[in-house]
Chains A and B, each alone.
Chain A
Amino acid sequence: MLRIRNLESGYGRLKVLRKLSLHVKQGEVVTIIGANGAGKTTLLNTLAGLLRIWSGEVLFDGKDLMGIPSEKRVFMGAVLVPEGRQVFRTMSVEENLILGGVPLQKKEGRNALMEELEHVYSLFPILRERKDQFAGTLSGGEQQMLAIGRALMSRPSLIMMDEPSMGLAPLIVKDIFSIIEKLRDEGKTVLLVEQNARAALGIADRGYVLETGRIILQGDAEDLLANRDVQRAYLGKDLDVEV
């Protein structure tokens, strides 16, 4: 579904991603974990087209994404739930969702849009209750749900999420992760970026560890959870004490 080879990108003259390669197969949940500043957001923004691909190759459904503008990538089925939620604060919850469905409406018509709206409301009943409220007045957790719901409105084949648990209370984080599990069970393909490595590896099929713009480790989620380096660096286990 998604295959990245030797991708490089960054800001201005600052190169952040260095020869990065990874792949995501249909129906998989793949997580990328890494410390602050490792380049996780840079990677997802490059995949979404907000940043330019400097070199390397990004194939989505076999098509090269080089030079394709971000709004076209949404139509192709790759959608990003951006870091920090980025809902349309001055617009109502329902308007946010409808805007997320712009590609779906263009492709399949208004009925499909209304169906998908129902589907998103059934995933997030709280959004239905708040549908006429300005998105800017929602709580952080509700805004995150809205951001995910808005992305789902285009019926994407690949959904990329950038730290959906950021800044949320543990209880809400649990809700968000159970939503991601639900998406997995519906057969959606998910590329999940997280600092909350334990929770992310807990629901993922596979994982990659990103450090200063390079993949330094990859494998099945369980193997990574059991890996001593990962445990020490990202799961907060003090191995010296354990031993």
Chain B
Amino acid sequence: MSLELLLQYIVAGLTYGIIYAIVAIGFNIIYNTTGIINFAQGEFVMLGGMIAVSFNAFLPLPLAILGAVIITMITGALMDIIFIRWLRSPSVLRMIIITIGLSILIREVALHIWGESVRALPYFTGNEITSLSFGGVRVSPQVLWTVGVCSVMVAGLSLFFRYTMVGRKMRATSDNRNAALLCGISTGNMVTLSFVLSAGIGAVAGCVVSPITYTQYNIGTGLAIKGFTVAILGGLGSSVGAVVGGLILGILESFSIWVLPAAYKDAIAIAILLLILFLKPSGLFGKSDVMALKEF
């Protein structure tokens, strides 16, 4: 295999990997404040892309994306407010069933609205044959958009959680909910906010990547499985872990086409998930005591 081809595989792997990382971070944000895994996380990515495509029919691209992101965020907020907020300390199993149910519900509504057709936003700059060359490696500008926008979101989130008052309140809520209440923090609102944030980053990712990967009413399921694998691989709750895990899975998948029939590509995530759960359930960057403390 030539060096160029190798790099080409890596670039493709990074593009998918960063999307997996965003889905995993979405899982983490909600997991950290509530202790539950939101299996409807992939649907946020789908909604972002699909709504933006519809809006783009009559709105300029930036406005279409903005509108799609806002609507997806509202969906996230409603999920919490309608289905989750009023449950007082529900069991993990119950939560899993609720979020899986919600993912099915959103998917069915999407099927009803958009049908089974495959859609995509236009390329943000240039078109499908535009490419930039880096030392012989040809890269679509949309790949740069995807990697760039997702990287900015990751960095922005980490600054948000570290330095803003709201970010601190959210961390306090995930650290110790009762203590947060005793500090006058409205933990219920922080949980809603975590759904809004997760939905927002998922929707943005769904928009930037749609020109490359296309979008359809049912892409959420696969993304949820991969994002979940990545979250576990990196260590539940760890953002650094999510990014590293996402890139690992993306690159592994990309190279798998080279040695395995393409049909096996999606099995890699499941294989990794099972291996991690057997060998190191706390993941690469997870603290093992986190796993012991949270009841998942």
- Interface residues, chain A, CB within 8 Å of chain B? 48-50, 69-72, 74-75, 79-80, 82, 86-91, 95, 98-100, 102-103, 105-106, 150-151, 154
Cross-chain contact A99 with B186 (CB below 8 angstroms): no
Check B171 against A48 for contact (C-beta < 8 Å). no
Kindly provide the distance from the CB of B145 to the nearest chain A CB, expressed in whole angstroms: 34
B294 → chain A, closest Cβ, in Å?
Answer: 13
Q: Do B171 and A70 touch (CB < 8 A)?
A: no
| Interface majority SS (helix, strand, loop, mixed), chain B | helix
- 18 example contacts (A-B, Cβ-Cβ < 8 A) are as follows A69-B181, A71-B181, A72-B184, A74-B183, A74-B184, A86-B176, A87-B176, A88-B171, A88-B175, A88-B176, A88-B180, A90-B171, A90-B175, A99-B169, A99-B180, A102-B165, A106-B184, A154-B183
Partner of B186, one of A71, A79, A91: A71
- Chain A interface helix/strand/loop/mixed: helix
Complex interface: chain B residues within 8 A of A50 (CB): 178, 181-182
- Chain B residues in 8 Å Cβ range of A82: 178-179, 182
Interchain CB contact under 8 A, A154 and B171: no
Query: How many B residues touch A, CB cutoff 8 Å?
Result: 17
**Contact pick for B184, options A87, A89, A90, A103, CB 8 Å:** A103
CB-CB under 8 A from B280, the residues of chain A are: none
* Chain B residues numbered 152-199 whose CB sits less than 8 Å from any CB in chain A: 165, 168-169, 171-172, 175-176, 178-187
Extra inter-chain contacts (18) besides given A50-B181, A86-B179, A154-B184, CB under 8 Å? A48-B182, A50-B178, A50-B182, A71-B184, A72-B184, A75-B184, A82-B178, A86-B178, A88-B171, A88-B180, A91-B171, A91-B172, A99-B168, A99-B180, A100-B183, A102-B183, A103-B183, A106-B184
Contacts of A75 in B (CB 8 A): 184
Q: Which residues of A contact B184 (CB under 8 A)?
A: 71-72, 74-75, 102-103, 106, 154
